[in-house]
Structure 1
Amino acid sequence: MTKFAAGASAMLLMMTAGLFVWMGAHSQDNLIPEAPPPPEKVETEGLPEAIFDDETIGPQPPTPPKAYKASREERRFNRYDRNRDEIVTRLEMMSSRTKAFKALDTDGNNLLTFEEWAVATSDRFTGADRDGNGALTRVEFRTTRPKRTASKCKC
């Protein structure tokens, strides 16, 4: 019971102190400074005025050319083609992807052309399209995901 009485009296004491602080802050005069007078109006007589006509504005700038929108496969191919010579070499492929590179390089010349890349992708799509209707359902699309291997932690 003494703890309750001590807590209640401490709370009453804190409320009284807060009341005194609030009353003291409220009684102070907060003077707001007056705003400065507005600036005087400047005379604009004698100043030149701009005339906007075709001679002063000039001709319209040329419209920029339309940017070529690369397909998804071309963007993927370009990620590997570092020197932009339209050929992906073994050095340009990541070293962990050597096995995949050899599978895509059908003529075995250690050069991967866009056609070889596109044929492999088309074959992958055809293999996933089980019903042969030219469209992948969610279940069919899920089969195109690369197989995950157990990753080794390099902690």
Structure 2
Amino acid sequence: MTRLVVGGIAAVLLLSGSAILFASNASEPTLPPPPPARVAAPLVAAASPTLSVRSPLSASPRSREEKRFARADKDDDGRVTSNELFEPRRKAFAKLDKDGSGSLSFEEWATRTVDKFASADLDRSGWLTPAEYALTAPKAPKRRAVCSC
């Protein structure tokens, strides 16, 4: 019986709350009119008619891709060949291929991780304690000097 009474009271409160919400007389706030537009003073004196004020240049969305293309085009012939594209990767591969076999074993591929684990495992137990694992944390990147100009 108590559940029915509480349910009835909840229904009445819900209906009265929704009636108040929808019957409110809220209106959009009126904003003051914007200030009049000011005309900026010209940067170049009117005495030299040959000079004109230019609007700031905006970078086109393609300029980023053009820069990336220019970095890949090593001989500046307007084309990226497979040799130009793969050469940096070949150098990185050669650094990892310690035995010069032309293929990477897992140990060669993960050499930095294997070396990092071996140097952190101080007691040579084959597993890392929390203190030893803390030694493998990456170093914080160097912060660039911020120009104060």
TM exceeding 0.5: no
TM (norm. structure 2) is 0.31
TM (norm. structure 1) is 0.30
Structure with greater contact order relative to length (CA < 8 Å, sep ≥ 6):
1
Q: Based on CA coordinates, which of the two structures has the bigger radius of gyration? A: 1
